[in-house]
């Protein structure tokens, strides 16, 4: 019983960690993916200027829209839900 509890606990921790890692590499301003992309782009480009100005609003929209899309049964538009589903399936495929 304790082994099963530890197994599912570790499985849950790994899936949460992978979801946060994939979320963090999105190229939206406050996240690390944008900082990595910004290094390779030319200074003063339009994408960087747009992201510095509206990136936080885009991130907030993506988080709220995911819930809205799921409640309207438009699951294929929910980026974060699809990413979580894919990670969960991959983990259970390996385990």
Q: What is the pLDDT of residues 6-62, one digit of tens each?
A: 888 888 888 888 888 888 888 988 899 999 998 998 988 999 999 999 999 988 888
Nearest one of 60, 94, 51, 50 to 80, comparing CA atoms = 60
The domain tally of the chain equals: 1
Residue 82 pLDDT greater than 80, yes or no: no
Q: Where is mean pLDDT largest: 10-14, 83-87, 89-93?
A: 10-14
Residue 94 pLDDT greater than 70, yes or no: no
Structural domain including 26 reads 2-94
The answer, as to whether pTM is greater than 0.85, is: no
């Amino acid at each position: 019983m304790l082994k099963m509890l530890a197994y599912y606990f570790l499985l849950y921790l790994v899936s949460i960690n992978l979801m946060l890692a994939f979320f963090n590499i999105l190229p939206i301003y406050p996240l690390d993916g944008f900082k990595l992309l910004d290094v390779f782009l030319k200074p003063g480009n339009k994408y960087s200027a747009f992201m510095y100005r509206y990136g936080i609003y885009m991130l907030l929209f993506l988080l709220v829209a995911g819930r809205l899309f799921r409640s309207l049964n438009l699951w294929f538009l929910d980026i974060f839900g699809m990413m979580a589903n894919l990670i969960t399936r991959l983990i259970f495929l390996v385990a």
